[in-house]
Structure 1
């Protein structure tokens, strides 16, 4: 099969090999996880969108984070739940490519959005006098447009390079589709794909980590120079929250990338790391920002109090 082009539209997935006793608990866990992700992220989006006093630069950038989380989790969970429920191990090639595309959009989008949020915090804390004149609605829209346009272009080129290659295998080594798994199915030379994939991964990490490191160094300097203890504490708390989310995403992404480069790593561990990247950040992000951001927390509590109040 290694030298024969495979034109079959059906691919075979490696599931989690669940027993009949474990299938139903796994189905409930996956469904519950997806419902929690949907509820938390949609609550955060609606809270920001429906409250005009939250239409500030920080919140307008923040609202893109749950959007990205919903893209990633919705690309994974429906297919994952279907695999557990029906015990099927096949997927259409077109569906697989679409799933992989949106998963990579989620990963790139999250990193770029967190970087944009770091820039916003830098302007607010290090250059407060210029903040309102620089971070206008028009400037925010340019940042958001640049984030999503860059993601679509970078990931779009990645998959255009993939789709030009002939497939000679149809068995995926993962429980869901992504670019490395699809690239392992082709029988043509993948040098260009590997170089481009490493280039965008390295460029994204250097830019994101460089921006976050630069902005937070200046933020820390500005905080320690501040004579107002309340302002300093609030700034450090806000930045610590953002930095926690950023490091969480970076760690999961880094472990997943490394797992593909190590041949001796357990396939079960590789699948767990891959799925964790699409479960934990989308679950934790809205909870962290919803609870830690005072304005958002107050609006959410006020909304549910009004809804639960007896008539």
Structure 2
């Protein structure tokens, strides 16, 4: 087909939900999104306001929470709107923006996870050298590298998608991503597919290799040490980290496979929701609250708020005549 489609509006295929489940699905997504915002923004504000928490490990937590808020804010509100809409549509410019930020989120999940795994490796395997290795300068460099790598990889793939001439007007997904933008075109997609495959292999290869290597070294270090209590806590924390990483990894693989094999949109959407919602809800618990110092700060803040509420209730309580 040589037809060129230049309309600024695209139709979203959306999710095939029976009418009676539309509002329950909307409510579930809304609750999940509000929990993500509350927990992750709470962790970010606590780290920003408390100078004692402005250390390498907590600054990496900040990156993770920021990324979770970014990814879910780009996708979930728009998806909730489309669920209750009778004719979901989106402008092409916003579709491109959503694809950029959603893929930046997905790519940053891997790059940020790599530097967090490295941080845990240094903390557990080289505790005496942790301060010198994970200096503020090193943390800044690792953070910039993680986000720069993510933005660069996404920009290359998205640039190849934007250059294509459109001949279709339907996004075959519940939200915009780069693969869906490819499918708007009838041109030869060989270069796009090869580039996408190369960037995917590089990203996932580096991610899996670095995380596997660092956690293997952590396991070896824990087994060789005699402190059973310290080793138990380290292994427990690393195990929970690894479970979340595997959920993120396999749900990401499902999204890629569903596009390649033309699997039904509902399965692709389910995989995307797993990728977005589960890690973003669990990260503040596993990465933040399991950390003793941060957990103590959260408890102190909650106690202060409770005490202020009690004082306000006493102050405004009407006295007996």
Counterparts of 2:137 and 2:165 in 1: how far apart (Å)?
44
Counterparts of 2:258 and 2:54 in 1: how far apart (Å)?
40
Structure 1 residue 230: Cα displacement? 2.5
Task: Please say if residues 48 and 63 of structure 1, whose CA atoms lie closer than 8 Å, have aligned partners that are also in contact.
Answer: yes
Structure 2: stretches of 5+ with no match in the other structure: 312-321
1:148: which partner in 2?
147
Counterparts of 1:242 and 1:33 in 2: how far apart (Å)?
21
1:235: which partner in 2?
234
Structure 1 residue 27: Cα displacement? 2.4
Instruction: Tell whether 2:178 aligns with 1:211.
Output: no
One of 274, 279, 282 as aligned partner of 2:280: 282
Counterparts of 1:154 and 1:267 in 2: how far apart (Å)?
25
Counterparts of 1:306 and 1:174 in 2: how far apart (Å)?
46
1:302: which partner in 2?
300
For this pair of structures, how many residues does the alignment match?
309
2:318: which partner in 1?
none
Structure 1 residue 244: Cα displacement? 2.1
Deviates more, 1:127-136 or 1:175-184: 127-136
Task: Please say if residues 238 and 293 of structure 1, whose CA atoms lie closer than 8 Å, have aligned partners that are also in contact.
Answer: no
Structure 1 residue 139: Cα displacement? 0.7
2:174: which partner in 1?
175
Instruction: Tell whether 2:77 aligns with 1:70.
Output: no
TM-score, normalised relative to structure 2:
0.92
- The alignment's C-alpha RMSD in Å is 1.5
SS in 2 for 1:63: helix
Counterparts of 2:175 and 2:115 in 1: how far apart (Å)?
29
Counterparts of 2:5 and 2:96 in 1: how far apart (Å)?
16
Instruction: Tell whether 2:252 aligns with 1:253.
Output: yes
TM-score, normalised relative to structure 1:
0.94
Structure 1 residue 219: Cα displacement? 1.1
1:118: which partner in 2?
117
Structure 1 residue 270: Cα displacement? 2.0
Instruction: Tell whether 2:290 aligns with 1:292.
Output: yes
Deviates more, 1:181-190 or 1:271-280: 271-280
Counterparts of 1:30 and 1:151 in 2: how far apart (Å)?
27
Runs (4+) of structure 1 exceeding 4 A deviation are: none
SS in 2 for 1:11: strand
Structure 1: stretches of 5+ with no match in the other structure: none
